[in-house]
């Protein structure tokens, strides 16, 4: 069985800082240049996988996992019978369902 190697703590800390910076840049460039914003999210995801950094729940729900677009200006529906929040990506029409209490 293969052992999972961990990166040093200082590298993970730097990776988290870079991810935060890239998400800030993606939010700033969302209205100006969609491709650049998608590229920033893609780079943040690559850094996260390379340095084994987990995204927080809020950060995971900020972007579409299918097309790397920030989920701003999306269509949101609330289902009361199933108690779920449905978010639809405007770019690729992917649906995300999140439970709520």
Residue-wise DSSP of 9-25: HHHHHHHHHHHHHHHHH
- Predicted pLDDT at 101: 79
pLDDT in tens for each of the 101 residues of the chain? Answer: 566 668 888 999 999 999 999 999 999 998 899 999 999 999 999 999 999 999 999 999 999 999 999 998 788 889 888 889 999 999 899 999 999 87
Q: How far apart are CA 101 and CA 84, in angstroms?
A: 8
Task: Give the pLDDT score at 74.
Answer: 82
Q: What is the largest CA-CA distance in the chain?
A: 48
Domains of the chain: 9-99 (1.20.5.420)
Residue 4 has what pLDDT?
A: 66
The edge-to-edge listing of strands for the beta sheet with 84-88 is 75-79, 84-88, 95-99
CA-to-CA separations, 44 to 33, 52, 69, in angstroms, rounded: 17, 12, 12
């Amino acid at each position: 069985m293969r052992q999972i190697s961990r990166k040093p703590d200082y590298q993970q800390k730097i990776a988290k800082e870079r991810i935060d910076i890239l998400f800030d840049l993606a939010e700033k460039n969302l209205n100006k240049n969609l491709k650049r914003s998608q590229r920033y999210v893609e780079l943040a995801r690559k850094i996260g996988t390379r340095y084994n950094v987990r995204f927080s729940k809020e950060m995971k729900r900020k972007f579409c996992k299918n097309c790397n677009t920030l989920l701003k200006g999306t269509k949101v529906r609330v289902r009361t019978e199933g108690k779920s929040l449905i978010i639809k990506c405007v770019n690729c029409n992917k649906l995300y369902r999140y439970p709520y209490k």
